[in-house]
Amino acid sequence: MSRLVLVLGDQLSENLSALKNANKDSDIVVMAEVADEATYVQHHPKKIALIFAAMRKFAARLRDDGWDVRYTELDDTDNCGSIPGELLRRADETGAKEVIATQCGEWRLINALEDMPLKLTVHPDTRFVASLDEFNDWAEGRKSLRMEYFYRELRRKTGLLMEDGEPAGGKWNFDHDNRKPAPDAVDFNGPMEFTPDDTVEEVLDLVEARFGNSFGTLRPFWYATDQGQARRALSHFIKHALPKFGDFQDAMLDDNRFLYHSVISAYINIGLLDPLEVCQAAEQAWEDGDAPINAVEGFIRQIIGWREYVRGIYFREGPDYTRRNALNHQRKLPEFFWTADTKMRCVAKAVEQTRDEAYAHHIQRLMVTGNFALLAGINPHEVHEWYLRVYIDAFEWVEAPNVVGMSQFADDGIIASKPYVSSGSYIDKMSDHCKACDYKVKDKTGENACPFNLLYWHFMDRHRDKFGGNPRMGQMYATWDRMKDDRKETVLREADQFLEKLSKGERV
């Protein structure tokens, strides 16, 4: 008897475990564009378009390859609107009684599938370098789960940048050579762009009609939507941007949205690129003498280090993770996260490009929008929902640990050993935003003082009980303690005034 093989929109890989465990001659692939998935948060229209277009192309490829694929388009009249609903409908249609799936990346969907009245066999998602069992074995019994040590395990496992069992170049981590301030000029024109073909155009019309009112600009749409295009985009990055990736990884520029970043996270997350393939291509560039070790090591660490590590944390911590709020932050998300209407130029720039491209690079997410939300005490669940909605690469297994853990410290330090907070001087050092800002980054108090400067000390002061004993924050508390009392009072009063304006919805 036929079985149904579920392929989800972020599982568009030929080597998907569900497909590997199915029989092409007798089993039936089920793929469906469903309202439940497209609307459980109001995703950026570019994200919906990417996923639907890539799904349609992947389905066509599976058919060419001999699979029987039952594909439901969003507008099909008999579309049940949910993944379990579509599986039940296809089971009725075909007489199948069993579903083969690959583990999903969100607790929400994992639970929905388990509740379905069909026999379900779930295979591990093998499109990662480490299995969840490997992560849990590594984590078991450790007092703290620092990414760096897990990363070293995976370097050993994959052999990436290893020479005779030792790290290439004599060090595991070359960050010391990375993270230079913003360059005056960038000699990379950004990610490879693709003109929409007929399939993509059809999807764009559909998305415009159904999701045109969501936050985010749909057109121009330039993302890759199949494996071939994604591989070209990767090669383009490796050749033209990887050599300077490390140097300017943390830099931000008013007029350049991508700098030397790869912009491939969405392609890896939906299965168009394999993480190991990506790392091997970067390693090859180093072996060929085309990219320096600091760039290649830094890039590989993001993928086999951070990406694998946050996935392990998401599944280890369980479904309540997105509700954690260790610092008890309760302020509402300000409206300017949607409108970009703020005098803070760094925030306005990050939100504008998020709206237009569904993309911002790591430091914009961590040290601009994330930093502001943490300093201002925004409710971390609202922050989590914002990130899940606005980015093209946002899937809960990777988004939630980055937001709830790394950026908002809401998991009480499982991921970050100290909160990622900074005053305006860090943003000034790494970007050119401050030059054209209404606020003055050098002003620590007064009418024009940069809000990051005021809020930084407000954060440190209000969370002294929690962080006062943290050795990594001792120096900052010592600086605060050396400040004259009347100056401290002024800083805290002005920060309170700023937060009051924020809560009232006044333009800040």
Ligand X SMILES: Cc1cc2nc3c(=O)[nH]c(=O)nc-3n(C[C@H](O)[C@H](O)[C@H](O)COP(=O)(O)OP(=O)(O)OC[C@H]3O[C@@H](n4cnc5c(N)ncnc54)[C@H](O)[C@@H]3O)c2cc1C
Interacting residue ranges for ligand X, rule: CB under 6 A? 261-265, 268-269, 299, 302-303, 306-307, 310, 361-362, 365-366, 370, 387, 391, 393-394, 398-399, 402-403, 406-407
354 vs 423 by CB, closer to ligand X: 354
263 vs 449 by CB, closer to ligand X: 263
Residue 345 interacting with ligand SF4 (CB under 6 A): yes
Select from 129-137, 140-148, 446-454, 466-474 the region that touches ligand SF4 (CB under 6 A): 446-454
CB of 241 to ligand X, least distance (A): 8
Partner that binds at residue 349, options ligand SF4, ligand X, none, CB closer than 5 to 8 Å by kind: none
Q: Is 358 exposed, middle or buried (0-12, 13-18, 19+ CB in 10 A)?
A: buried
Residue of 437, 460, 491, 502 interacting with ligand SF4 (CB under 6 A): 437
280 vs 445 by CB, closer to ligand SF4: 445
CB–CB of 238/285 below 8 Å?
A: yes
Residue of 54, 346, 374, 400 interacting with ligand SF4 (CB under 6 A): 346
CB of 428 to ligand SF4, least distance (A): 6
Partner that binds at residue 231, options ligand SF4, ligand X, none, CB closer than 5 to 8 Å by kind: none
Q: How far apart are CA 288 and CA 443, in angstroms?
A: 48
Short-list 14, 5, 7, CA closest to 274: 14
CB of 34 to ligand X, least distance (A): 21
Strand 68-72 and strand 98-102: pairing?
unpaired
Q: How far apart are CA 69 and CA 62, in angstroms?
A: 7
Exposure class string for 9-21: b at 16+ Cβ within 10 A, else e: bbbbbeebbbbee
> Could you tell me the two tokens for 27?
């089993």
Q: How far apart are CA 447 and CA 11, in angstroms?
A: 51
4 bridge partner residues: 28, 99
272 vs 434 by CB, closer to ligand SF4: 434
Residue of 154, 378, 394, 450 interacting with ligand SF4 (CB under 6 A): 450
> Could you tell me the two tokens for 399?
């988004």
Residue 458 interacting with ligand SF4 (CB under 6 A): no
- What phi and psi values does residue 414 have, to the nearest 5 degrees? -65, -45
Partner that binds at residue 221, options ligand SF4, ligand X, none, CB closer than 5 to 8 Å by kind: none
Rg (CA), the chain: 24
292 vs 424 by CB, closer to ligand SF4: 424
Partner that binds at residue 403, options ligand X, ligand SF4, none, CB closer than 5 to 8 Å by kind: ligand X
CB of 240 to ligand X, least distance (A): 13
> Pattern 5-44, binding to ligand SF4, x per CB under 6 A?
----------------------------------------
Indicate the length of the chain as a whole number: 508
Q: How far apart are CA 433 and CA 243, in angstroms?
A: 25
Q: How far apart are CA 123 and CA 20, in angstroms?
A: 10
How many CA atoms lie within 13 Å of 297's alpha carbon, on the beta-carbon side?
Answer: 22
- Footprint of ligand SF4 on this chain (CB under 6 A)? 344-346, 424, 427-428, 433-434, 437, 439, 441, 450-452
